Structure 1
């Protein structure tokens, strides 16, 4: 370094090389800290962010993953998958819990398949030893024999019949015998063994639910309108002019198959992401691509596009390779774009489904997929949800150039926050969160990214000044994160979750 300051011809070279590093590593400048916002609810649907997206879905209480419970009006007890699945369906439970809850797979607005606790599907016993009418839950993969129609009473939607694929209705003959051989309509009376009182336990509202709910023709129109209006060029101008320098963009695995992704997903999200990169370049905003929804769901939540709350990601090498291929596709597409700052390999994996072993295998392969196309983009590794060693991935990533660990800090989603006062929440940031951040910040380890946080809490009736202090505390503490932070999210119908609203209304100043 000394020669750069003693030999003038080399000074220019050093300056030029320094500028090159600063640009190509926009990226690698150690003095640069990400101050980002998540574009949540845009390219990966989350119904709570924009509920109106679901308004026009017919029978929208019958979305994929909805939990249904059926109480027989004749015996007064609930249908149940005996032993949680693998054998017969009975009607002998006085209370409804897991074995008595059937998760919907939606075929269309009136036709469905029912998944039971142990993940088998309700169907007719069509084996050689069966009689074709007994109702069982033995199929691991649903087919025609596992496809039913729900018929609702027009003036009381909680009263239903279930029409089997043989054309007959289910009826409860005894508490231990449920069959599909009831012929007709007896007027919805309480002595009708085919009538059930239905209770719904709600459903996730993610990308799978919205696209499958509308069906392929309508979903294409609805989603493309959403993608073209929810986030627009002016949002990037707003971001750039309000003290932010980056966006974290959640995407789903199906984007790699655009314009013809597998059903029920529809094409068009890739064009929206292309637009985001154009706008980011125009307004000097860096982009972090975040694989928010991995194939088969890495956490079972709606924001990972789980169909019914099941979590299947990482259980096979084929599934892991499919996810690596998505990362390869995205990095290859945007590696030469100067706005690409980082690629996050997966968001919020949840154990035990996403095991340490499966994630280490995936993270190693995913890192190499990014590096195949870019030597400068940061690679972000998400910590697992739940109580885990926050340094559990350090042995893997500490030796990897440009590695970042993503941690999410919310004063929510845990009972410890339920009874906290305003000041206790603020103190928690300055003490607990500060300590946690220090614990994972090391001189020779990966950079640390607080990839999600929000100025919202469990407090009811807090004042604007309370929110301002809470936001200020988080900005101060998370501002120490070596890689930076990202607020969740830019837009939300819930005001405090919307950074745009918080800035425009004086709750947060950057």
Structure 2
């Protein structure tokens, strides 16, 4: 009987150890594009949207076919809209706010909106859009870059002269270039984030589209795969609207909170931890698709601190005592220029909010990407169980253009190792490489090159005291997908 009891105890310990999540340092992966949409990772998500190239935040330039001149918001806003520019830059670029499939507001450089002046002249003086600032775009069926723009008075815009653009053209068109109501539209930049997909599909279709995505993009089978292949944690980007689930402010839709709940259950089932990462904050902290921005402007600042802290408090209250919680990241990739003191003020208040519910949860401070990696070190040293998150990409910088595979690998072993050691202290905050990838700017790299590059990063980033997280688990671009890299022998954990 004693022998049977011992065997049962050993068997029990062996089985139950699968459900005991590890402590740092973590080998983690980002579940990007799951609860915060990033269209570049899975463009097919947007295929069902009418005019999917004219989503919120799309930057357009408009050229009169008759005058062969670009429309411009004089002075960048606050004055008339003219048609007198030979080339286009900031003042000649307009940012779309999408009202529906074919109706839009046009935001100008200084953030005002184009509208009518009370008669029919076009001006850019309104600080918030209403009916006079709403226009319908009609595209030529066989040449969608050719457009006409109908104003709220039912008439079409026309470039009468270089100094007069008005909404008083009522005739139909044969789309000839001498028609003053015809414009060539050039799309300069697009956004494909959570705001774009939910507002693009609209309130009737978006809830089902997003629910289908959340149910299928990441499942418990993925957590099983991750745990079986050496991963001990996931970093899950979430948006501020999750705190208002199931009825978040429009155009966002409810359901992501239930998906996050599932992730905590799946993580516990497979002996993993969950790092909840506030990836998108209200007002946008960096203007990128993944910040939940509507139009690319960075609005987040001191006035947004209370509501952003409230999101962190919501997450801490809900998950602070979950055994599978690995940490809460207060903000992803802030790009705030000189506002480092504002960021620190927010971090202090958000840290305090977490501590109301848990004394042991790791609190992660995202290092501002436009500052040195040591920018938060002395500040972070005043807290308990705090982590500084840095992101390392051999991309997005001219220094990596035309570099060889070996030069990139040497850069990891030398420069990255030095940078990381500089923020990896023995008695202060922990260090975390919260995003990295095997994608790089090297052209024609072999499988062996990718293997060596990945190994170099694993060698170096494993020195981070809190660990690392690959970006991402799934992606249409293979080197960005850790799942693909593992399955095809590029990375061995």
Same fold (TM over 0.5): yes
1:18 corresponds in structure 2 to: none
Contact 1:79 1:90 in 2 (8 A): yes
In structure 2, C-alpha distance between the alignment counterparts of 1:49 and 1:186, rounded to whole Å:
40
Contact 2:21 2:271 in 1 (8 A): no
- Structure 1 residue 340, shift from structure 2 partner: 0.6
Structure 1 segment 424-463 matched on structure 2, within 5 A: 424-463=407-446
- Structure 1 residue 396, shift from structure 2 partner: 2.1
2:466 corresponds in structure 1 to: 483
Counterpart among 49, 52, 70 of residue 78 in structure 1: 70
1:239 correspondence with 2:226: yes
In structure 2, C-alpha distance between the alignment counterparts of 1:165 and 1:509, rounded to whole Å:
60
Counterpart among 353, 376, 381 of residue 398 in structure 1: 381
Stretches of 4+ moved more than 3 A in 1? none
2:149 corresponds in structure 1 to: 162
Contact 2:21 2:272 in 1 (8 A): no
1:356 corresponds in structure 2 to: 340
Structure 1 segment 151-300 matched on structure 2, within 5 A: 151-300=138-287
* SS of match in other structure, 2:313: helix
- Structure 1 residue 315, shift from structure 2 partner: 4.2
1:8 corresponds in structure 2 to: none
- Structure 1 residue 393, shift from structure 2 partner: 1.6
- Structure 1 residue 159, shift from structure 2 partner: 1.4
1:345 correspondence with 2:337: no
In structure 2, C-alpha distance between the alignment counterparts of 1:399 and 1:75, rounded to whole Å:
63
1:120 corresponds in structure 2 to: 112
1:467 corresponds in structure 2 to: 450
* SS of match in other structure, 2:492: coil
- Structure 1 residue 26, shift from structure 2 partner: 6.6
Counterpart among 350, 353, 370 of residue 366 in structure 1: 350
1:311 corresponds in structure 2 to: 298
* SS of match in other structure, 1:42: coil
- Structure 1 residue 191, shift from structure 2 partner: 2.1
1:65 correspondence with 2:54: no
Counterpart among 321, 329, 342 of residue 336 in structure 1: 321
Residue by residue over 1:66-112, the C-alpha shift from the partner in whole angstroms, topping out at 9 and shown as x without a partner, is 11111111111010111111100000001111111111000001000
Gaps of at least 5 residues in structure 1 are 1-21, 127-131
1:382 correspondence with 2:351: no
Q: What's the RMSD between the two structures over aligned residues?
A: 1.5
1:413 corresponds in structure 2 to: 396
In structure 1, C-alpha distance between the alignment counterparts of 2:372 and 2:295, rounded to whole Å:
29
Residue by residue over 1:270-307, the C-alpha shift from the partner in whole angstroms, topping out at 9 and shown as x without a partner, is 00001101101111110100000000110000011111
Contact 1:41 1:49 in 2 (8 A): yes
In structure 2, C-alpha distance between the alignment counterparts of 1:488 and 1:73, rounded to whole Å:
44
- Structure 1 residue 190, shift from structure 2 partner: 2.2
Residue by residue over 1:120-172, the C-alpha shift from the partner in whole angstroms, topping out at 9 and shown as x without a partner, is 1000012xxxxx11100011111111000001122221211110011111111
* SS of match in other structure, 2:356: helix
Aligned length: 476
In structure 1, C-alpha distance between the alignment counterparts of 2:151 and 2:349, rounded to whole Å:
46
Contact 2:21 2:232 in 1 (8 A): no
In structure 1, C-alpha distance between the alignment counterparts of 2:62 and 2:372, rounded to whole Å:
42
1:91 corresponds in structure 2 to: 83
- Structure 1 residue 492, shift from structure 2 partner: 0.5
2:11 corresponds in structure 1 to: none
* SS of match in other structure, 1:337: coil
Residue by residue over 1:244-271, the C-alpha shift from the partner in whole angstroms, topping out at 9 and shown as x without a partner, is 1000000000000000000110010000
In structure 2, C-alpha distance between the alignment counterparts of 1:36 and 1:242, rounded to whole Å:
11
In structure 1, C-alpha distance between the alignment counterparts of 2:377 and 2:140, rounded to whole Å:
58
TM-score w.r.t. length of structure 2: 0.95
2:489 corresponds in structure 1 to: 506
Residue by residue over 1:47-80, the C-alpha shift from the partner in whole angstroms, topping out at 9 and shown as x without a partner, is 0111110011111111111111111111110101
Contact 1:61 1:202 in 2 (8 A): no
Gaps of at least 5 residues in structure 2 are 1-16
* SS of match in other structure, 1:368: helix
In structure 2, C-alpha distance between the alignment counterparts of 1:341 and 1:155, rounded to whole Å:
53
- Structure 1 residue 186, shift from structure 2 partner: 3.6
* SS of match in other structure, 2:388: strand
* SS of match in other structure, 1:201: strand
- Structure 1 residue 394, shift from structure 2 partner: 2.2
- Structure 1 residue 184, shift from structure 2 partner: 1.7
1:106 correspondence with 2:77: no
In structure 2, C-alpha distance between the alignment counterparts of 1:416 and 1:209, rounded to whole Å:
32
In structure 1, C-alpha distance between the alignment counterparts of 2:294 and 2:342, rounded to whole Å:
21
In structure 1, C-alpha distance between the alignment counterparts of 2:162 and 2:174, rounded to whole Å:
22
In structure 2, C-alpha distance between the alignment counterparts of 1:234 and 1:450, rounded to whole Å:
26
Residue by residue over 1:217-253, the C-alpha shift from the partner in whole angstroms, topping out at 9 and shown as x without a partner, is 1110100000000000000001111111000000000
In structure 1, C-alpha distance between the alignment counterparts of 2:331 and 2:308, rounded to whole Å:
9
In structure 1, C-alpha distance between the alignment counterparts of 2:388 and 2:302, rounded to whole Å:
23
Contact 1:125 1:136 in 2 (8 A): yes
In structure 2, C-alpha distance between the alignment counterparts of 1:481 and 1:76, rounded to whole Å:
57
1:149 correspondence with 2:136: yes
